[in-house]
């Protein structure tokens, strides 16, 4: 595998970890809420994160790399914190949404950083890997905005 490919694979593997973190985090959040619409939304998002990870893994294989298959240590620590905080706050919707938004903040930053790294290794906006990362970044941004809106609704009704 060429050096640029190694760098691209490394960037994609980081995003796979974030996607796996998101999948696990949304599943956990779905278990923590009683609101059926919110539960359904979190389950849907978990599935989308799993699909995003699969797309990234496919690209890594195409580039000759070994795709990441697990979550990140920082994601595992965040979920542990969320579980502890949820127990202390009674798994209140606003608290769960605050933590989900925090997770989406991290994912958004990771995708923006990844896009910058891809440009630095010479990928252009027409490269399939760049296009995939850009498409997923736009999805993360939409989800972040949706979670923020849901959190604001929960805050207003409490």
> In this predicted model, what pLDDT tens digit does every residue of 46-63 receive, in sequence order?
999 999 999 999 999 999
pLDDT at 78 (0 to 100): 47
In terms of Cα–Cα distance, which of 16, 22, 78 is closest to 47?
22
User: Measured between alpha carbons, how far is 110 from 140 in angstroms, rounded to an integer?
Assistant: 10
With 0-12 CB in 10 A as exposed, 13-18 as middle and 19+ as buried, what is 128? exposed
Is residue 44 pLDDT above 90, yes or no?
yes
User: Measured between alpha carbons, how far is 89 from 95 in angstroms, rounded to an integer?
Assistant: 7
Residue 95: band (very low, low, confident or very high) from pLDDT cuts 50, 70, 90: confident
Name the domain count of the chain: 1
List the CATH number of the domain containing 102. Answer: 1.20.1260.10
Domain containing residue 127: 3-157
Residue 3: band (very low, low, confident or very high) from pLDDT cuts 50, 70, 90: low
Q: Count other C-beta atoms under 10 Å from residue 148's C-beta.
A: 16
Task: Quote the tokens at residue 81.
Answer: 């914190």
pTM of the model: 0.86
User: Measured between alpha carbons, how far is 101 from 98 in angstroms, rounded to an integer?
Assistant: 5
Radius of gyration of the chain (CA): 16
């Amino acid at each position: 595998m060429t050096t640029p490919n190694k760098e691209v694979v490394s960037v994609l593997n980081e995003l796979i970890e974030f996607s796996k973190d998101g999948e696990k985090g949304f599943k956990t959040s779905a278990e923590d809420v009683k609101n059926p619409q919110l539960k359904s939304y979190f389950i849907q998002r978990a599935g989308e994160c799993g699909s995003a990870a699969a797309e990234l893994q496919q690209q890594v294989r195409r580039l000759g790399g070994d795709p990441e298959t697990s979550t990140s240590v920082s994601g595992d620590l965040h979920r542990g914190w969320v579980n502890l905080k949820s127990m202390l706050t009674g798994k209140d919707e606003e608290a769960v949404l605050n933590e989900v938004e925090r997770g989406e903040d991290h994912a958004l930053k990771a995708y923006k950083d990844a896009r910058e790294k891809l440009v630095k290794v010479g990928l252009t906006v027409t490269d399939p890997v760049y296009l995939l990362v850009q498409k997923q970044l736009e999805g993360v941004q939409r989800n972040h905005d949706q979670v923020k809106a849901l959190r604001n609704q929960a805050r207003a009704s409490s």
